[in-house]
Each structure stands twice: as C-alpha cells, then as structure tokens.
C-alpha cells in the first residue's frame, strides 16, 4: 500500500470514529442556540423602537 493511500485510509477511519457534537446539531443545544438568536433579535428590535 502506498504511503498516501495508507494516510487517507487512516484519516477516513479516524473521522468515522469521531463523535464531535456540532453546535448546529439537532437537540437541546440547537434549541438553546435558536432561542438566544431570537432573544437577541427581539432585543435589537425593541431598542430601535425606543
């Protein structure tokens, strides 16, 4: 097996094992992120109206 092929195979295997949770993933963290965004948007809207 060529070194490049072995490296790519290793990277693909490692990526398959990885279970990093992304902030935009579905679930509680996503709901919290959306709630913060909505709250910030409403805060900006109310401060412009004043």
Whole-number CA gyration radius for the chain: 21
Rounded distance, CA 5 to CA 8, Å? 5
**pTM score, whole prediction:** 0.43
Residues 14, 17: Cα–Cα separation, whole Å:
5
**pLDDT tens column, 1-50:** 688 899 999 999 998 888 887 777 788 888 888 999 999 988 887 876 55
Residue 48 pLDDT = 66
């Amino acid at each position: 097996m060529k070194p490049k092929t072995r490296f790519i195979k290793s990277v693909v295997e490692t990526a398959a094992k990885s279970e990093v949770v992304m902030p935009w993933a579905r679930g509680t963290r996503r709901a919290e992120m959306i709630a913060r965004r909505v709250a910030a948007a409403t805060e900006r809207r109310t401060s412009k109206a004043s």
